[in-house]
Amino acid sequence: MRELPTKESVNGTEFTVADFLEAGRETLQLTLIAGGGNLERKIEEPIVNRPGLALTGFYEHFAWKRLQLIGKSETAYLRSLDDETRLSRLAALSERKAFCYIFTNGQKPQEDEIELAERMGAIIMASPLKTRVFTHHSAFVLEKLGAPRTSLYGTMIEVCGLGVLFEGDPGLGKSETALGLVKRGCALIADDLTCIRKDVANNLLFGSASDSTAGYMEIRGIGIMHVPSVFGVCAVRGEKRLQLVVSFRRLRDVKGEIDRIGQTRKVRTILGVDVPNIIIPVSEGRDLVNLVETAAMQQKLVMSGYDPVEELSERLRRRADAEELKKAKRKG
C-alpha cells in the first residue's frame, strides 16, 4: 500500500490557531476578538489550560504552550484587582509565552485587555459556552486536528458495517468492485485516495475522502460520477473506522503466497496500528464484489470470537479421537 508523501506522521499533525478557530467556529461557538494577525501561530500542546495560579503570580509549571481558558472564576478574580495589577498579571502570562486566551461563559475582555493583547501579539477569543462544556468539546476538536494522519492510494467502502479499504495496482478493478458493492447497498467512503486519521486514545484508524473528492467516483469507460446523485444520499459515508484491508493482487504474482485455509492472519500496519489484511487474487472471471462482501462477513465473524479454522480443526480432532476410541474398543 502506497502512502503519499506528507508532513503528517505517527507523531501527529501540526496545526495553527486559525485551524482551531475554523474547526471550532460552530461546535465551540468561537468568535475572534483580538490578534487576527497572529492566527498562524502553531498550537504546540493541543489542550486547554486554566491559568488560575499563574494569574496570582505563581508561574512554576505554567503550561504556556496550551490555550489559556479564562472562565468565570478567572474573570471574577481579574475584576477584583485594580487596573494596574490586573493588566500586569495578564502581561506576565504573555511575557511567559502564553499566546491565546479564550473567555468562556459569555465573558468579554475589557478594552484595555484587548489593547494589551494586540500590543503583545496575543490572541483573544470568546465563547458563550460554560467552561466545563467548552473544555469537554474542545478536547475533541483539538484531538481531531492534531491526530496523526496519512493519505493512501486506495478505495474505501462500508461493507456489512465494516470499513474496508481496497488497495492494489491500477487496473485491477478497485473502483468497479466498489461500484458493485454500492449497488448492493454498501456505502462509498472514498475512491482512489483515502485519508486516514488515527484516534490516539483508542488506537483506532478512521478513513474518509478528501473534501474535494467526497462522494465522487471514477469508473473507466463511464468517467466521473456523483454517487449520492445516482444512488441516493445513503450510498455515501463521511468517515468510518478502518477494520479490514483487502489487497488485490494478480494471480500470477501471488502463487505460493496464498494460505488456502486462512490459518495465517495477515495485518497491515498503518500509523502504528495493525489492521487485518486479506489478499484476493485477481484473474479473469472472478467475482470480486461477491468475494469482498464475503470477506467482510467472515471478518465480522472472526471479530465476534468465532474462528472457522479452529472450529474445523477441533471437529476433525474430535472425529479422529472417536475413531481411535472405536478401534481401541474393537481390539479390546
Q: What is the pLDDT of residue 262?
A: 59
**pLDDT tens digit sequence for 81-105:** 999 999 999 999 999 999 999 999 9
Residues 184, 165: Cα–Cα separation, whole Å = 17
Which is more confidently placed, 318 or 108?
108
Q: What is the pLDDT of residue 104?
A: 96
CATH number of the 17-146 domain: 3.40.1390.20
**pLDDT tens digit sequence for 167-199:** 988 888 888 999 999 999 999 999 989 999 998
Kind of pairing between the strands at 123-126 and 100-103? parallel
Computed over every residue of the chain, the mean pLDDT equals 88
DSSP assignment letter at 101: E
Q: What is the pLDDT of residue 5?
A: 45
Query: CA distances (Å), 316 to each of 226, 275, 308, 309, 319, in order?
Result: 50, 30, 12, 11, 5
Count of positions (residues) in the chain: 332
Under the banding of pLDDT at 50, 70 and 90, the label for residue 8 is very low
Q: How far apart are the first and last CA of the chain?
A: 61
Q: Which of 231, 223, 226, 222 is closest to 213 using CA atoms? A: 226
pLDDT at 275 over 90: yes
Residue 18 neighbours by CB under 8 Å, 6+ apart: 39, 40
**pLDDT tens digit sequence for 195-245:** 999 988 889 999 999 888 899 998 888 889 999 999 999 999 999 999 999
3-class SS of residue 274: strand
The third-level CATH classification (topology) of the domain covering 149-310 is Rossmann fold (3.40.50)
**pLDDT tens digit sequence for 22-76:** 999 999 999 999 999 999 999 999 999 999 999 999 999 999 999 999 999 999 9
Please state the rounded mean pLDDT for residues 307-316.
76
Q: What is the pLDDT of residue 63?
A: 94
Q: What is the pLDDT of residue 251?
A: 79
Cβ proximity of 240 and 292 under 8 Å: no
**Amino acid, single-letter form, for residue 45:** E
Domain extents in the chain? 17-146, 149-310
The backbone torsions φ and ψ at residue 204, rounded to the nearest 5 degrees and listed phi first, read: -120, 155
